[in-house]
Amino acid sequence: MPTKERLADRNVTTTELALILGITGRRVQQLTQDGVLTTVSRGKFVLSDAVQAYIGSISRGGLTKEEAEEAKKIERVKAKAEATLKTSKAKIAQAEAKELSGQMHRSEDVAAMTAELIYTIRGALMALPSRVAINAAALSDPAEVAEYMRGEVNQIAEEIVLFRYDPAKYEARVRERRSWTEKLGGDEDE
């Protein structure tokens, strides 16, 4: 009877290997074509190497070593992408919470409120000539006219200084935008 070393190093045919592994001869040929099994000569395999390669293939889900490595790489990339997606969703949720609580404002809301302030200033400046024309015309001394105009400009400046941040206005804008988004049934960012 042959020893274990001799049996393990023994060359077997495709048919013998198929019987030992419990698969068909055609499956042995497919595994050889796929690079899982290696022949020592046409139709001959080293028994121990072939059995180990077959067991390794089964443990990798029937994939070759290269395919298994590629599948692992794909899984790593997929896991990284999922983690990035979860992180992004968490950041978006955090930003929305800050926006709803008034701690953060969207740039378009700030731009709209700033434009509103600019239009208020513009309106006051555009009304200045008609408001002061009659009184300035009644003054004869240029120094008096300059002082009168300075007083009117200071009055407009004081009105501008009284402008204050109103969180209720920003909150109204956020709620209005959200209600429109919900009515449209879409995502805000689409």
DSSP-assigned letters across all residues of 102-129: TS---HHHHHHHHHHHHHHHHHHHHHHH
Which residues are registered as beta bridge partners of 44?
Answer: 13, 41
**Residue 24 binned pLDDT confidence (cut-offs 50, 70, 90):** very high
Indicate whether this model's pTM tops 0.85.
no
Secondary structure of residue 41 in the 3-state scheme: strand
- How far is it, in rounded angstroms, from Cα 5 to Cα 184? 76
Residue 161 has pLDDT above 50, yes or no: yes
DSSP state of 63: -
**Residues 43-59: pLDDT tens digits?**
899 888 888 888 888 87
Residue 68 has pLDDT above 70, yes or no: no
Domain positions in the chain are 10-62, 64-104, 105-184
Predicted local distance difference test score (pLDDT) of residue 189 = 47
**Residue 182 binned pLDDT confidence (cut-offs 50, 70, 90):** low
Amino acid at 135: N
* Pairs from 171-174 (Cβ < 8 Å, separation ≥ 24): 171/102, 173/109, 173/112, 173/113, 174/99, 174/100, 174/106, 174/109
Predicted local distance difference test score (pLDDT) of residue 190 = 42
**Residues 72-120: pLDDT tens digits?**
788 898 999 999 999 999 988 888 787 777 777 778 878 888 888 888 8
